Amino acid sequence: MKGRVTNIQRYSLHDGPGIRTTVFFAGCGLRCLWCSNPESLRNEERIMVFTSRCTGCAACLSIDTDQALTLNGKSLTFDPQKDLAKFIAVCPYKVFVEVNEEVEAEDVANTCLRDRLFYEESRGGVTFSGGEPLLQPEFLKEVVQRLKKEGIHIAIETAGNVGFESFEVIDPYVDLYLYDLKFIDPVQHLRYTGQNNEIILSNLERLIQLKKNIVLRMVLLNGINDTDQEWDKRFDWLKHHSSSFQRIELLAYHNFGEGKYVALGEEYPMKDQKKTDEIRIQEIKGKLESMGFEVHVENAF
């Protein structure tokens, strides 16, 4: 069976225990303004244009019949609304890159299995992320079934914005959920992700009831979701779930995805966003620890 994958990243150290391969699935129902993987939002092929690789050789201009490109020396600009795929074949410097290709489940599994020795040595495994991996549940199932036969540890990073049936399809093969929680406040959730969080919270509650292994992940954005208003609600919710999580990960916001927006010809929505406040993240960490949670801060300062 085929599915759409944006990228397969080997030797990941931040997506679950040990050394891992992270498989990024294409397609997501949320539109978080701070998303660092904008190329994986749509379940369709995308062309990314890495203009800094351009040498100005002008080979591409010979087939630019609809003025998609403007070249001034080595300075290339492009119109993202035009057909850019045709330039892949003529550009010798890999300025144009296609992502989100359809791939066979078997091929994805075989790529992951290449690093099984690293997984064994480090107690690592394979993490499926995205995008939202649970939007392609049957394809995901075929990949994880194959990996499970080889005894590979499987983690699913999800924002949970899917019907619970999708969890049921893959759950027998899953060792760990990395569950991303953006907001408890429904109004803020809608405002910053484009979707309601009702199904997200209800799926999380169901996984908790089923006593699944869950790491709760929360990106902290200065002035957006690190406020007292939001955290009073989170602390209140968390105090009813004090033994539900293996640990909580607080992730500092970063703007590493900005270059990808440029390569897609899109505006970066968080241009003016400040870094996560280190004092605030430590304050939240301290409070969570006092509630009995194991807390880890990622992308620290």
Binding site for ligand SF4 (CB under 6 A): 54-60, 71, 76, 90-91, 93, 95
**Listed residue (99, 108, 88, 113) closest to 26, CA to CA:** 99
CB 29 within 8 A of CB 161: yes
Query: 68 CB contacts (<8 Å, ≥6 apart)?
Result: 78, 79, 82, 83, 84, 87
Nearer to ligand SF4, 58 or 210 (CB): 58
Consecutive H or E run containing 285: helix 278-290
Q: Which is nearer to ligand SF4, 75 or 196 (CB)?
A: 75
The distance of closest approach from Cβ of residue 64 to ligand SF4 in the complex, given in angstroms and rounded to an integer, is 9
Beta carbon nearer to ligand SF4, 58 or 85? 58
Please state the closest distance from residue 40 (CB atom) to ligand SF4, in A. 24
Question: Residue 90 CB, nearest distance to ligand SF4 (Å)?
Answer: 6
* Closest distance of CB 51 from ligand SF4, Å: 8
Distances (CA, A) of 157 to 28, 65, 120, 175, 176: 12, 43, 21, 11, 9
Of the pair 52, 196, the CB lying nearest ligand SF4 is at 52
Cα angle 270, 274, 277 (rounded to 5 degrees) comes to 135
Q: Which residue type does 252 have?
A: A
Q: Which is nearer to ligand SF4, 56 or 151 (CB)?
A: 56
Tell me which residue has tokens 């990073």: 157
**From the CB of 61, what's the least distance to ligand SF4, in Å?**
7
